Amino acid sequence: MVAPVDTSAGGGGSAAPGRGPSRRSWTAWLVVAPFLAYVGTFLLYPTALVLAGAFQDDDGAFTLATLATLTEGVYLQAFLRSVQLSALTALLGAVLGALLSWAVASGKPEGVTRKVVLAASGVLAQFGGVPLAFAFLATVGFQGLVTRFLADTFGVDLFATGAWLFELPGLTLVYTFFQIPLMVIVFLPAVDGLRPQWREATESLGGSGWTYWRHVGGPILLPAFLGSALLLFANAFSAYATAAALVSQGSPIVPLQIRGFLTGEVLLGQENLGKALGLGMIVVVGVTMGLYALLQRRFARWQ
């Protein structure tokens, strides 16, 4: 594929005189065609299938009944539990992650601490998945290190109240383990953006550390903090691998409900219900990400 040699000084943009603009743009589009074809097939088409399926009955006719099913019984429960889990772990992750970001940002910019914390955060936030579930089995599972230590030393039975690790409380604990690192990744740039001069200005006007955070640092970081918390919410809401590896029976949250539809544990005639659940997830995550983008833009003004 060879594009016509551009002899005009301007380079791209509008067509050069003497050459048909339609031919030019046609060739130009040919280069991006493979990308568009691929994204169309493997991203847009599957998404469209989910969206369309949510509005269809088993014969392919339009219906709102499938979506209506989401507002009742186990499905509504699963959505509520997913929101609760995501909100709680987003809050915990945001606060603790912000503290960790501050601790990292006040260290040396090229220091070892920073490098190690960032690499570890990347691993735990994005590539953990199944390994995280096993990490917690090794720690607070029935035969875990902490479980055994508490039982041998203090006679405390971690599982006295039931198999909490494989239910919502366990998911909350494990999710926090990838939420804090994600907060560090997305919030650290904002903390790094605080100029030391602002602090010096506060101090030369007689302000204390508290005054600085209350009137300068805090308000500047607030949009980024809220935005990051939203991102954490979306992240927990979308997460599947860790929960799937930890919870093999029952489907307390929406992603696990969808698993039930895909592995055929559900009655026939309800195939589109999985797609309706998918649509529900896209709406929740989409709205969250939209708000995130808005806050992100507001925060960009400070940089």
Partner 1 sequence: MAVTREPVKPKRRNGNGGVLRAVVLVVLGAYFALPLVAMAEFSTRSANGTRSLQSWSGIVTDPDLVAAIWVSVQLALLSSLLVLALLVPTMAWIRLRLPALRRPVEFLCLLPVAIPAIVLVVGMAPLYAWVDYFLGDSPLTLALAYAVLVLPFAYRSLDAGLSAIDLKTLAEAARGLGAGWGTVLLRIVVPNIRTALISAALLSVALVLGEFTIASLLNFDTLQVRVNLIGKRDAGVSIAVSLLCLLFAFALLLLLSSAGSRRRRATAEEG
Subset of 54-93 contacting partner 1 (CB under 8 A): none
Residue written as token pair 């307390």 = 252
Report the interhelical angle of 73-105 vs 168-192 (nearest 10°).
40
Q: Compute the distance between CA of residue 88 and CA of residue 83 in angstroms, rounded to an integer.
A: 8
Residue 200 main-chain phi, psi, to 5 deg: -60, -40
Question: Token digits for 240?
Answer: 């599947």
Interaction between residue 45 and partner 1 (CB under 8 A): yes
How many residues belong to the site for partner 1 (CB under 8 A)? 93
Q: Which is nearer to partner 1, 199 or 298 (CB)?
A: 199
Interaction between residue 291 and partner 1 (CB under 8 A): no
DSSP H stretches of helix in the chain: 21-39, 45-53, 65-69, 73-105, 112-126, 130-140, 145-154, 168-192, 196-204, 209-212, 218-238, 241-246, 254-262, 271-300
Interaction between residue 43 and partner 1 (CB under 8 A): yes
- Residue 155's region, left for phi above 0, alpha for psi from -120 to 50, else beta, is left
**Cβ 7 to partner 1 shortest distance, Å:** 9
Interaction between residue 264 and partner 1 (CB under 8 A): no
Task: For the segment 129-148, give every residue that binds partner 1 (CB under 8 A).
Answer: 129-132, 134-139, 141, 143-146
**Cβ 270 to partner 1 shortest distance, Å:** 13
**Cβ 50 to partner 1 shortest distance, Å:** 5
Interaction between residue 17 and partner 1 (CB under 8 A): no
Distances (CA, A) of 286 to 60, 181, 282, 283, 290: 26, 22, 5, 5, 6
Q: Compute the distance between CA of residue 240 and CA of residue 178 in angstroms, rounded to an integer.
A: 12
Interaction between residue 213 and partner 1 (CB under 8 A): no
**Cβ 169 to partner 1 shortest distance, Å:** 16
**Cβ 298 to partner 1 shortest distance, Å:** 18
Q: Compute the distance between CA of residue 268 and CA of residue 265 in angstroms, rounded to an integer.
A: 9
**Cβ 219 to partner 1 shortest distance, Å:** 19
* Span from 60-68, 160-168, 218-226, 232-240 in contact with partner 1 (CB under 8 A): 232-240
Partners of 56 in beta bridges: 62
Q: Which is nearer to partner 1, 220 or 254 (CB)?
A: 254
Interaction between residue 266 and partner 1 (CB under 8 A): no
**Cβ 96 to partner 1 shortest distance, Å:** 7
Q: Which is nearer to partner 1, 61 or 262 (CB)?
A: 262
176: nearest Cα among 237, 93, 234, 96: 93
Task: For the segment 18-37, give every residue that binds partner 1 (CB under 8 A).
Answer: 28-29, 31-32, 34-35
Q: Which is nearer to partner 1, 168 or 291 (CB)?
A: 291
* Span from 56-64, 161-169, 186-194, 239-247 in contact with partner 1 (CB under 8 A): 239-247
Task: For the segment 189-208, give every residue that binds partner 1 (CB under 8 A).
Answer: 203-206, 208
Q: Which residues have a Cβ under 8 Å from the Cβ of 262 and sit 6 or more positions away?
A: 274
**Cβ 289 to partner 1 shortest distance, Å:** 5
Q: Compute the distance between CA of residue 21 and CA of residue 166 in angstroms, rounded to an integer.
A: 63
